[in-house]
């Protein structure tokens, strides 16, 4: 099946692969762009997952200031100073800082959420589901779903990425890591909003 060059270029731009690889992926997917994109993402993310075992000690601390009203600093690490000084890494830091300014996460990932906070939210959701008359045998499943949604909204890596809400911030970071062929870790961030009471 013939695939037009614009579609191939679009897939190339989204995944960071060469034209030949993009064309082959579209051919394998019988011209189905979404299928090809998914296949390319899986390939790239699998590579990125393997890189995740490497230690990330280099990187940069970046910042973003929105109209003098919201300020963000973020530390993102990678394996080498060479990559840290590169264009893709610099753009990633800026984009993640802007995302933090806009979406106001509380934690980098769900692993960072204090256990007492998880327990408190779980108790609240259980009480509410019970008060709403949800069936007892379904309670655990309902509460689990609510907890996942609750913390996904508060954890940076689980939030829908502001520039492409079809992927999470974590998925975006992984795709960029795959482009740079390095392990990339969002280490920490700080967000200040003018007049905000902490």
Residue 136: CATH number of its domain: 1.10.286
Residues 93 and 24 in one domain: no
Residues 12 and 33 in one domain: yes
Tell me the pLDDT tens digit for each residue of 92-144.
Answer: 999 999 999 999 999 999 888 888 888 888 888 888 878 877 777 887 888 88
CATH number (domain holding residue 166): 3.30.479.20
Question: What's the number of domains the chain is made of?
Answer: 3
Residues 84 and 171 in one domain: yes
Residue-number span of the structural domain to which 15 is assigned: 5-51
Residues 95 and 163 in one domain: yes
For 104, other C-beta atoms within 10 Å of its C-beta total 16
Residues 161 and 97 in one domain: yes
Residues 96 and 159 in one domain: yes
The Cα–Cα gap between 193 and 164 comes to: 24
Tell me the pLDDT tens digit for each residue of 23-46.
Answer: 888 888 888 888 887 777 666 654
Residues 104 and 131 in one domain: no
Distances (CA, A) of 139 to 46, 128, 133, 166: 35, 10, 10, 29
Residues 87 and 179 in one domain: yes
Tell me the pLDDT tens digit for each residue of 156-193.
Answer: 999 999 999 999 999 999 999 988 888 899 999 999 99
Tokens of 92: 């990633």
Tokens of 131: 């008060």
pTM for the full predicted model:
0.67
CA dihedral 69, 95, 88, 186 (to 10 degrees): 100
Residues 65 and 142 in one domain: no
- DSSP label at 110? G
């Amino acid at each position: 099946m013939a695939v037009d060059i614009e579609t191939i270029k679009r897939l190339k731009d989204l995944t960071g692969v060469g034209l030949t690889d993009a064309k082959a992926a579209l051919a394998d997917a019988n011209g189905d762009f979404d299928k090809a994109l998914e296949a390319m993402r899986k390939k790239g993310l699998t590579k990125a997952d393997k890189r995740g075992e490497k230690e990330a000690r280099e990187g940069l601390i970046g910042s973003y200031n929105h109209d003098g009203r919201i300020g963000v600093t973020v530390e993102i690490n990678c394996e080498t100073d060479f990559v840290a000084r590169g264009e893709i890494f610099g753009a990633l830091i800026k984009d993640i800082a802007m995302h933090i300014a806009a979406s106001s996460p509380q934690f980098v990932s769900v692993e960072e959420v204090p256990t007492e906070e998880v327990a408190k939210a779980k108790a609240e959701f259980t009480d509410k589901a019970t008060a709403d008359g949800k069936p007892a045998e379904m309670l655990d499943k309902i509460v689990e779903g609510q907890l996942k949604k609750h913390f996904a909204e508060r954890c940076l890596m689980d939030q829908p990425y502001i520039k492409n809400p079809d992927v999470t911030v974590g998925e975006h970071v992984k795709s960029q890591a795959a482009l740079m062929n390095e392990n990339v870790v969002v280490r920490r961030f700080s967000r200040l909003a003018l007049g905000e009471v902490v």
